[in-house]
Chains A and B, each alone.
Chain A
């Protein structure tokens, strides 16, 4: 049997009349970076907060590191680290004091200097939290989650509100964690984040898992038709006669089952007539396209 870190079967959660999570199955193995993707209100946060022991479930079986979070919360919390969007740190303590305070709660903490180096906050160690930028505070969040040297790390939308360079940095931090052998459970609504970080992705919508797989193959992404797009100059003399070609807003588009031969036909046609294919683009559907398709085109980001 593989090393299961999280096992969820038939998880349900209702708030009064509203069923936020409708019987989902999930599993995460040791060393994986698992991303739970979904639009706002899909049930991501509810699911992750049940796994962390913040909320009680209405039904189903949940095992996290062999513990039921609803019953063995303290044992579980010794071995996990949690980065939530909605948590903070006392603004009047310094970075180092904060990390030391939280390390003290754990049986086998990681050295504060190491934690600071992992998130790149070594130079800020004696600065009060109050004086940190937003991005630095998020890195401190991660540092505190690492203070207890957890086996499993929950990251709830870790880069929401980050500028592009801060996101890159955060991603590098997560990559470093996986090199340390940590298992990471990530929730996000950024497709590129899931694609870059996750080894496995599940998409949740309306409280149900609607797709699951690697970012490359999820929902048959690897089998989807390749899309060829280009523009033609006005004097090109009409489009090539290739089956299924369509035009929209001056852009010609072709869904190719066999991109090699269809691209060959297209470029041969263009070369014969000395036509320049402007903005020529060959692409597979992005994870975002797939996501929009399976979640019914709900908004992607907040």
Chain B
């Protein structure tokens, strides 16, 4: 063995050597230095022994025992609502924000109630004006729809057909049958399959 170059291997150098990443320069020192080589071999032996330790496992049924005490979240629960109280009370800042919002809501409700009690006549007058205006608007809308219908080219033909009681009954029966058929078809489409589809869970 020739004279080794540079200082002895540091613990970091030994780590690099154990991981196979030692630089060429330090490797040259290691190849020539008996003391470092002995140390490195001893370290390697320790690491080999550690890596060869017996694999250990917990006793059978470990997962079942753990799962007995684990709460699996309900996927259909509204998570955001569930965590609202916890989030509101999480920090001082969030508590202050929650308290401010609460005070603002309560304050505005109180002001609203006080104003209502003091202005009952005004509120009654406003209510009756809104009611009359609303009624007028609804009547105008109905008249508009009716006159629109009457101006349609097919209106006279439909009126002739429906003027005869027999034809009216026939048209009503046809409409009822079509409606019933539609409902049954929709129900069949939305029903769950009674038998498991082959390979569906594969």
* A and B bind: no
